[in-house]
């Protein structure tokens, strides 16, 4: 279960980085060209989007990397990452996979009681 949590965390973090790049970039684009906000989707709290765009993928990758050796800490980091992505980005087409992978990886890491057999 720890190996599965490791893989889910790393893959979820990489997908989260992709979502984070575009989300951060969109907030920068709207800040520079204010007329785009009138035509496109407005962002209520760009600071939150920018913060979560950076922290959530980093927490997911770190949590996945820690899942084998420190499963409780890794599981908590993965769940915090999934909750942060859900809070900042919502659940949609591009966020469903990183949220689901980080959430499942966090649960698997927390439920792992013994080290995986080699």
Where residue 104 falls among pLDDT bands split at 50, 70, 90?
very high
Q: Of the candidates 78, 46, 79, which has an alpha carbon nearest to the alpha carbon of residue 65?
A: 78
What is the chain's mean pLDDT, rounded?
91
81 C-beta neighbours (distance < 10 Å), count: 32
Q: Which pTM does this prediction carry?
A: 0.90
pLDDT tens by residue, 26-79: 999 888 887 877 787 778 899 999 999 999 999 999 999 999 889 999 999 999
For the chain, the domains span 2-111
């Amino acid at each position: 279960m720890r190996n599965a949590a490791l893989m889910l965390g790393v893959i979820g973090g990489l997908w989260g980085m992709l979502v984070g790049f575009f989300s951060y970039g969109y907030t920068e684009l709207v800040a520079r060209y204010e007329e785009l906000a009138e035509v496109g989707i407005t962002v209520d709290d760009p600071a939150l989007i920018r913060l979560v765009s950076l922290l959530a993928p980093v927490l997911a990758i770190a949590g996945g990397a820690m899942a084998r050796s420190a499963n409780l800490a890794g599981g908590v980091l993965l769940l915090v990452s999934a909750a942060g992505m859900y809070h900042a980005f919502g659940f949609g087409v591009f966020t469903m996979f990183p949220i689901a992978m980080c959430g499942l990886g966090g649960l698997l890491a927390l439920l792992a009681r013994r080290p995986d057999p080699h």
